[in-house]
């Protein structure tokens, strides 16, 4: 005698629907909280209500077909009806948070060593000196003997090569699988540079790409560049909270963010959004750096041309340290234009000393390099090397 199948339960339906993945968010519709109602009739008819992020979601038909296909394969299901609803703003925010958390937990492999400290230099708006901060901070860290990667993530607004005095093209490794960064010696350390400016024939050529292409370029720079051992990787981010920022959170979730602002209240208010984006993407905000703090004329009088206190107010509001203040000094711009960052060319200057202080704070306190000296792998490697050196 055939034993009748147990009655279908809501748990059975939800378990099956975990096989339906929202291709845009990269997670199943149950984990994302998109399944709002499940109704099972005595005749095996199943009704499922799915909440979409927007009513006109282009993936609506695909999700409907996937739900039907999965449930119709379940014993005891005679028919499937799929209904759609639209999420509230709160539900939509919750879904996006779940998707970002999952993306951060399942980051793809990159060529950036896991021991590398990753620092994204970001801003809410353009014109606050973010690229200048990136190259000067990288130079100051390299002057301390570190190997520092600089990735010009501002794909269509690249400026790092000119500021570092780098000319030429990126090469390839021996089997041409990976791109080699352009190397620059700075004091006792070195900087490894990757930028779209080192891939185009003419730096005046406009890069006319949409967001997905920009995000793909960042992915290529992280996955197809032979970075090698790095103490730090600094990313010069484009301003705002767009595709590149979201791609960074997905590709390098261990990155920390240094937010650059000016003393102006308007710049500080815009920069708050960058911090909000970072935290909602599970990135850590390391601190705030205030650029163009004040101009000091030849007779020693200081003039706060862009206001006072924006950086400290932003840092206090975010609960993070103000890592430093860079004065408004014409020599900074002149040094950048000459391809010799002031932190290297004139370390005794006010700005040069400020960058050196920030580099010291980062290296000795906020984000010190990873010390692998005592780890098991290093000890074993040293022991093997010693044994190999013994006479046979």
pLDDT (tens digit per residue) in 273-285: 999 999 888 899 9
**What are the structure tokens assigned to 55, written together?**
């009513």
Backbone region of residue 122 per phi and psi (left: phi > 0; alpha: psi in -120 to 50; beta: other values): beta
Side-chain-side CA neighbours of 364 within 13 Å: the count stands at 7
On whether both 131 and 211 belong to a single domain, the answer is: yes
Q: What is the mean pLDDT of the chain?
A: 89
pLDDT score for 391 = 55
Count of positions (residues) in the chain: 392
Are residues 28 and 68 in contact, defined by beta-carbon separation less than 8 angstroms? no
What is the pTM for the complete model shown? 0.78
- Whether residue 388 has pLDDT greater than 60: no
Query: CA-based Rg of the chain, rounded to a whole angstrom?
Result: 26
Residue 75 is part of which domain span?
10-105
Q: What's the whole-number mean pLDDT along residues 338-365?
A: 95
Average pLDDT over residues 76-98: 89
Rounded-to-integer distance, Cα 333 and Cα 250, Å: 33
Rounded to 5 degrees, what are φ and ψ at 72?
A: -65, -20
Query: How far apart, in whole angstroms, are the C-alpha atoms of residue 175 and residue 221?
Result: 17
Distance of CA 111 to the CA centre of its chain: 15
Give the pLDDT of residue 265.
Answer: 85
* Number of neighbouring beta carbons within 10 Å of residue 65: 12
Tell me the three state secondary structure of residue 184. strand
Q: Check if the beta carbon of residue 239 is closer than 8 Å to that of residue 123.
A: yes
Q: Which CATH number covers residue 36?
A: 3.30.300.130
Instruction: State how many domains the chain has.
Output: 2
Question: Both 186 and 321 in a single domain?
Answer: yes
pLDDT of residue 372: 67
Same domain, 151 and 296: yes
Residues 37 and 160 in one domain: no
Structure tokens at 36: 């709002």
CA distance 35 to 38: 8
Distances in Å between the alpha carbon of 215 and those of 265, 278, 375?
30, 16, 35
- Judge if 45 and 162 occupy the same domain: no
Mean pLDDT to the nearest integer, 319-340: 94
- pLDDT at residue 377 in the model: 46
**Assigned domain for 203 exists:** yes
Residues 121, 67, single domain; the answer is no
Question: Of 105, 127, 149, which residue sits at a domain end?
Answer: 105
Instruction: Match 């939509």 to its residue by tokens.
Output: 92
């Amino acid at each position: 005698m055939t034993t009748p199948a147990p009655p279908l339960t809501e748990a059975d339906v939800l378990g099956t629907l975990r096989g339906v993945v929202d291709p845009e968010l990269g997670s199943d519709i149950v984990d994302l909280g998109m399944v709002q109602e499940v109704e099972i009739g005595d005749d095996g008819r199943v009704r499922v209500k799915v909440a979409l992020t927007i009513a006109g979601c282009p993936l609506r038909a695909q999700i409907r077909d996937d739900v039907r296909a999965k449930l119709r394969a379940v014993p005891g299901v005679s028919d499937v009806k799929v209904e759609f609803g639209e999420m509230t703003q709160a539900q939509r925010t919750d879904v996006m948070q779940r998707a970002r958390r999952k993306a951060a937990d399942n980051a793809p492999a990159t060529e950036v060593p896991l021991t590398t400290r990753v620092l994204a230099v970001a801003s809410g708006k353009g014109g606050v000196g973010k690229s200048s901060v990136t190259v000067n901070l990288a130079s100051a860290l390299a002057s301390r003997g570190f190997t520092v990667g600089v990735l010009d993530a501002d794909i269509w607004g690249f400026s790092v090569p000119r500021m570092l005095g780098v000319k030429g093209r990126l090469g390839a490794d021996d089997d041409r699988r990976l791109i080699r960064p352009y190397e620059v010696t700075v004091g006792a350390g070195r900087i490894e540079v990757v930028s779209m400016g080192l891939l185009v024939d003419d730096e005046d050529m406009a890069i006319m790409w949409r967001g997905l292409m920009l995000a793909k370029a960042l992915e290529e720079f992280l996955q197809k560049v032979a970075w090698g051992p790095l103490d730090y990787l600094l990313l010069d981010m484009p301003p705002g909270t767009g595709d590149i920022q979201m791609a960074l959170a997905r590709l390098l979730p261990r990155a920390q963010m240094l937010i650059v602002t000016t003393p102006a209240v308007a710049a500080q208010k815009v920069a708050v959004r960058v911090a909000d984006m970072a935290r909602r993407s599970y990135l850590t905000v390391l601190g705030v750096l205030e650029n163009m703090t004040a101009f000091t004329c030849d007779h020693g009088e200081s003039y706060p041309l862009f206001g006072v206190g924006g950086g400290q107010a932003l840092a206090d509001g975010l609960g993070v340290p103000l890592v430093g203040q860079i004065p408004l000094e014409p020599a900074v711009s002149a040094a950048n234009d000459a391809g010799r960052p002031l932190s290297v060319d004139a370390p005794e200057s006010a700005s040069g000393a400020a960058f050196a202080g920030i580099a010291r704070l980062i290296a000795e306190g906020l984000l010190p390099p990873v010390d692998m000296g005592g780890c098991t792998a290093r000890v074993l490697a040293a022991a093997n090397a010693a044994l190999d050196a013994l006479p046979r």
